[in-house]
Amino acid sequence: MERVFETPIAEERIRKLEAGDVIYVSGIIFTARDEAHKVLLERGEPFPLEGLALFHCGPVVRKRGEAWEVIAAGPTTSMRMESLEPRFLRKFKPRVIIGKGGMGAGTLKALVEVGAVYCHFTGGAGALAARAIKGVREVHYLEELGIPEAIWVFEVERFGPLVVAMDSHGRSLYAEVGAVVQKNLEKIRARTKEG
Amino acid sequence: MKEKLVGRLVEALREAATVLPVDVVRALEAARDKEVGPARVQLEAILENVCLAKDNGVPICQDTGTQTFFVRVGTAFPYLEELRTAIPEAVRRATQEVPLRPNTVHPFTKKNPGDNTGRFIPYVTWELVPGDSAEIHLLPKGGGSENCCKLTMLTPAVGIPGVKEVVVEHIANCRGLPCPPTVVGVGVGGGADLSLKLGKLALLRPVGERHPEPEVAALEAELEEMINSLGIGPMGLGGKTTVLAVHVEYAHRHPASLPLGIVVQCWADRRAHVVISPKGEITLTGDA
């Protein structure tokens, strides 16, 4: 099922999503990598994050006069945020996490508790992401963290496609694919041994 | 001549960052036609992204990589000094003009010079060949896939079956991390450093072209079939396509060693090719 989710997103809508669904997000998404997670957890949110989408991303941006222009903004590897994400989810309640590569058991548990989903955006699709970003509303901690690590607040329209890879019912496509890969690897090993 | 060279190399760097080679696009299209569900969604997004980047002249991926040059230069090539100095200058200019993400960081001080250059970077390898022209392959390579490269020093007794096992197991362990569907370069023999270099050189061959020697070509086909039966799929979300191609290169080895270098390249298998004639004519892949 393909649906567009307008931020702020209510918990009930997220609870209806299942692993494998494809969604798009319109409204506000903010970026945060490891350093930004730490800063927000220590100093609190600069604006209400509940119901928004959190994007694991370090964008390529260029300043045109006073305005920022986003040139490419694909996702970064989410697993680097695993040690911080469960606390982040419980404290700020973003409803959608956007990244690549998936996250671990701690985050999956927090998604179930809070009522949020983890979505996979195609790794490397930086131009496609930039097209959906209509403007930069704010940027936080730019001086302190630098361009890739700063907290960028984007206005987006139909940002996606986003594959729901970890849902709020405890299903993770990564865990499921991992089990399949392990089984297939055993089969290949048995085959090469015979050969 | 140097100014002309810098200008054309900036164009080649721009082409590599923004236009995916046609052989890779064809392979991605063929993969899309075979897939359903989340795997197909990923490949459709990739192909749409490739079109957007080309049409708007912007980088395909925000990780524009480390700039790497493989130069084959004729022993009678007349512009050796111009070429040697033009390469880092072109990288500096392309970083501003394309733009490329400034990716070079000092490992001790973490200082970023901001222009994609630094100690030994851009990485240039020079190979001397007979003749009076020069040929350059550009291979900008992202960090995510480079982090999935691996060197294994095998016991020669395990032979080529041992090589197969390590390659398949390694790609299985990488799952979605290197942004599959990937192109995998496998270097067999030589030595520790040479096997990895051979793996990288193997990536310069267009996707869909087999090694000219039948035993090597057969190994490539077998590895592709094995890896694609793992079920990792595009972006690790499950599916039939985990690799677009496996390319194998080899060198003679020491009797006591069987080095195996595995080099993984993400779906954004970005390359550009430049030829410089002794008269100073410079041709780019994109000129055609």
Mean pLDDT for the stretch of residues A146-163: 94
Cross-chain Cβ contact B176/A195 below 8 Å: no
Cross-chain Cβ contact B236/A177 below 8 Å: yes
| Contact residues, chain A, for B179 at CB < 8 Å | 100, 123-124
Cross-chain Cβ contact A173/B230 below 8 Å: no
Name the burial class of residue A147, with classes exposed (0-12), middle (13-18) and buried (19+) by CB atoms within 10 angstroms of its CB: middle
- State yes or no: is A37 an active-site residue: yes
For the cut 80, the answer to whether the pLDDT of residue B287 exceeds it is: no
Considering only CB atoms, B45 lies closest to which of A161, A173, A174, namely A161
| Contact residues, chain B, for A128 at CB < 8 Å | 45, 48-49, 52
Domain assignment of residue A55, given as a range: 2-194
How many angstroms separate the CA of residue A20 from the nearest CA in chain B?
7
CATH of the domain at A73: 3.20.130.10
| Contact residues, chain A, for B94 at CB < 8 Å | none
Q: When comparing pLDDT for A195 and A76, which is higher?
A: A76
pLDDT at B112: 86
How many CB pairs (< 8 A) connect A and B? 139
pLDDT above 90 coverage of chain A, percent: 85
pLDDT at A195: 56
B178-226 pLDDT tens trace: 999 999 999 999 999 999 999 999 999 999 899 999 999 999 999 999 9
Q: Which positions 50-69 of A are in contact with B (Cβ < 8 Å)?
A: 57-60, 62
Closest among B69, B132, B87 to B281, alpha carbons compared: B132
Structure tokens at A86: 């469960």
| Contact residues, chain A, for B102 at CB < 8 Å | none
pLDDT at A148: 82
pLDDT at B154: 98
| Contact residues, chain B, for A126 at CB < 8 Å | 49, 53, 58-63
Considering only CB atoms, A127 lies closest to which of B60, B235, B237, namely B60
For the cut 70, the answer to whether the pLDDT of residue A113 exceeds it is: yes
B130-171 pLDDT tens trace: 999 999 999 999 988 999 999 999 999 999 999 999 999 999
Give how many domains chain A has, as a whole number. Answer: 1
- Sequence-distant (6+) residues with CB within 8 A of A158 are A4, A24, A25, A26, A132
Closest among A92, A86, A6, A81 to A36, alpha carbons compared: A81
For the cut 60, the answer to whether the pLDDT of residue A33 exceeds it is: yes
pLDDT at B127: 96
How many angstroms separate the CA of residue A132 from the nearest CA in chain B?
12
Question: What's the pLDDT band for B101 if we cut at 50, 70, 90?
Answer: confident
Instruction: State the ipTM, two decimals.
Output: 0.89
| Contact residues, chain A, for B265 at CB < 8 Å | none
Mean pLDDT for the stretch of residues A110-131: 96
Cross-chain Cβ contact A124/B161 below 8 Å: no
Considering only CB atoms, A184 lies closest to which of B231, B235, B266, namely B231
Mean pLDDT for the stretch of residues B236-250: 97
Q: Which positions 16-55 of A are in contact with B (Cβ < 8 Å)?
A: 20, 22
How many angstroms separate the CA of residue B92 from the nearest CA in chain A?
17
pLDDT at A182: 97
Considering only CB atoms, A131 lies closest to which of B52, B169, B177, namely B52
Question: What's the pLDDT band for B268 if we cut at 50, 70, 90?
Answer: very high
Cross-chain Cβ contact A73/B62 below 8 Å: yes
Q: Is any Cβ of chain B less than 8 angstroms from the Cβ of A128?
A: yes
For the cut 60, the answer to whether the pLDDT of residue B95 exceeds it is: yes
- Sequence-distant (6+) residues with CB within 8 A of B193 are none
pLDDT at A193: 73
Mean pLDDT, chain A, integer:
94
A58-105 pLDDT tens trace: 888 888 898 999 998 989 999 999 999 999 999 999 999 999 999 999
Question: What's the pLDDT band for A2 if we cut at 50, 70, 90?
Answer: low
Mean pLDDT for the stretch of residues B256-268: 98
Buried b (16+ CB within 10 A) or exposed e, B218-251: ebbebbbebbbebbbbbbbbbbbbbbbbbbbbbe
What is the DSSP secondary-structure string of B64-121?
--B-EEEEEEETT-TTHHHHHHHHHHHHHHHHHHTTPP-----TTT----SSS-BTTB
Alpha carbon dihedral B57, B62, B64, B66, in 10-degree steps, equals 170
Considering only CB atoms, B235 lies closest to which of A22, A62, A100, namely A100
For the cut 70, the answer to whether the pLDDT of residue B288 exceeds it is: no
Closest among B247, B261, B177 to B24, alpha carbons compared: B247
Name the burial class of residue A194, with classes exposed (0-12), middle (13-18) and buried (19+) by CB atoms within 10 angstroms of its CB: exposed
